[in-house]
Amino acid sequence: MTTGALFIMLFVFMFIGMPVAVALGLSSILTILLFGHDSLASLSLKMFESSEHFTLMAIPFFVLAGAFMTTGGVARRMIRFAVASVGHLHGGLAIASVMACCLFAAVSGSSPATVVAVGSIVIAGMVRSGYTQSFAAGVICNAGTLGILIPPSIVLVVYGAATETSVGKLFMAGVVPGLLLGFLLMLAIYILARVKNMPRQPRASLKEVMVAGRDSFWGLMLIVIILGGIYGGIFTPTEAAAVSAVYAFFVAVFVYRDIGMRQVPQVLIDASKVTIMLMFIIVNALLFAHVLTTERIPQAIAEQIVAWDMAAWQFLIVVNILLLVGGMFMEPTGIILILAPILFPIAMQLGIDPVHLGIIIVVNLEIGMVTPPIGLNLFVTAGITKMTIGQVVRAASPWLILLLSFLVLITYVPAITLWLPELKLF
């Protein structure tokens, strides 16, 4: 009865238009008051403890680093380097756009930020070069999803905090799948461009490539500092986030000089707004997870699935369907914090690696970013192109076949995900 009341209230609150964070918190409080055994004092203590989680401290720092990189000219320099490198190929500007999304994802940690930073520059350029606006919007909308897969990813930090999984291993696990998805998108564009004879850019000289690479060097060093520092044992993911924020500030203000000291307070305010929004969702979702755990809901579900003698591959089908449907209606952070406490113990009993499960979840949430009705990348792309949501959905939909195929590959070939984290380099 308690379980049914909790989920019924959650979905009713969301259906009437209540923000996800408020719906999570309110349904949790009402469930405890009406059916549970905890006191309100214990709930307030749980919310305070949740906000103090050491791993979650990485989020504001990664958000701040992304804000400095987005506000500065880092994206513009990365795009210039990508165009110089691959612009001469068939569909070169579109391929360069995906490459730029891969590069910027490695410094932003956010999918919408990647779409805004890269898309606001390249979509108009692609249209001027002879691509249709629909094609350009579809490419960027889907390539922008790499922002939550390629490390540093805020979504992976949240999963790590929710399941007590190593964030360092999750970051390393996201590298190969992220690069593979970027390559598959570029390959699909190249094949399509050859068939449709899409425009090509003039071949850049080696000197132009070298100059563009040098200009984007300081931005690209951020990913080296983060992953190198974490995997080299120099600092924890949270410390890496703090270092990345200081480094991004230094590069934006003193190296590239795209931001003056007078603009820094506004960047701090913008980053604070995003952080407050994310933390409010996270704390309420952790409160929801606390109610689930208190009522032994995950354990009961796990015991039931084990009793059904469900194989690991069958369970992963259920996971994918559940997450694909959930991704249509909720943003990634909320989904992870609601479903991870339920799915994680079952996966452990079935012998599924927690790092592998984390990447499967993130790939599902990538697809959710480009599926209606709540796909965030759709709204961001519509905002920067002035297209309607319906037009963006039609533009992004053909690429879903590629994303779904990639999901199947990641789900059933765990070596793609686990190869790098298990590689002993140090």
Condensed to tens digits (0 to 9), the pLDDT of residues 21-56 reads: 788 888 888 887 787 666 667 667 766 766 666 677
Tokens found for residue 80: 């210039």
What is the helix (H) or strand (E) element at residue 188, kind and residue range?
helix 167-196
User: Tokens 């606006």 correspond to what residue?
Assistant: 133
Residue 404: the pLDDT is 95
User: How confident is the model over 217-226, as pLDDT tens digits?
Assistant: 888 888 888 8
pLDDT at 51: 63
The long-range contacts involving 315-322, CB below 8 angstroms and separated by at least 24 positions, are 315/346, 315/347, 315/350, 315/352, 316/352, 316/360, 316/411, 316/412, 319/343, 319/347, 319/357, 319/360, 319/361, 319/364, 320/360, 320/364, 320/407, 320/411
Whether the bond between 152 and the residue before it is cis, its omega within 30 degrees of 0, is: yes
Determine the pLDDT at residue 339. 83
Q: Rounded to whole angstroms, how far apart are CA atoms 173 and 182? A: 15
Q: Which amino acid is residue 85, in one-letter code?
A: S
Span 281-330, pLDDT tens digits:
777 777 777 777 677 766 676 677 767 778 889 899 989 988 888 888 77
The domain limits of the chain are 1-422
201: buried, middle or exposed (CB in 10 Å: 19+, 13-18, 0-12)?
middle
User: In the prediction, which pLDDT does 383 show?
Assistant: 86
Crossing angle, helix 264-294 and helix 2-15, to 10 degrees?
150
* pLDDT-flagged residues of the chain (< 50): 426
Helices within 35-166 (DSSP H only): 40-51, 58-71, 74-86, 92-108, 111-128, 133-143, 154-163
pLDDT for the residue numbered 72: 62
Query: Is 4 exposed, middle or buried (CB count within 10 Å of its CB: 0-12, 13-18, 19+)?
Result: exposed
